[in-house]
Amino acid sequence: MDVVPVDVHRPQPLALDDIPSAGADCLVSCFCLESASPDLAAFNRALGHIGSLLRPGGHLLLIGTLGMNYYFGGPGVKIPVVPLNEAQVCAGLKENGYILIRLEVYTVPQDMRLESDDVSGVFFAKARKE
């Protein structure tokens, strides 16, 4: 197994020889797209770009934050995040050729929130590429 560079903001995020020619059966992205994207439009484009790596009928398991604007990556290092809501996640998946199979949302209770970010929830999505 190799570690390969991925750029979700390129139409072809991986080199063609890094994935099966028919496309991947499944992709997993955890807390990446909303952190790597400068805005909602870029997040949606990234969803489409990673979809190009999947075979038709392949699955995407996407985990991300809801309502988060930033997190601290270290002392004084504030990293911006696209503050998504549930409707935006669903719309982005649909617009990019995914069929949403299941969406679960976890709301972070106020007493469990940290000073390192302003997250209000986490989503877990399972989708299939059309």
Token representation of residue 93: 């998946």
pTM for the model stands at 0.92
Residue of 60, 54, 58, 53 lying closest to 93 (CA atoms) = 60
Taking the C-alpha atoms of residue 112 and residue 47, their distance in angstroms, rounded to an integer, is 29
The helix or strand, by DSSP H or E, that contains position 55, with its residue range, turns out to be: strand 54-66
Assess contact for 86 and 102: CB atoms under 8 A.
no
**Please, what are the domains in the chain?**
19-129 (3.40.50.150)
The residues, any chain, with a CB within 8 Å of residue 110's CB and separated by 6 or more, are none
Widest Cα–Cα separation across the chain: 48
Strand pairing category for 24-30 and 54-66: parallel
Residue-level pLDDT at 2: 72
Using a pLDDT cut of 90, give the percent of the chain over it: 78
pLDDT in tens, 27-82: 999 999 999 999 999 999 999 999 999 999 999 999 999 999 999 989 999 999 99
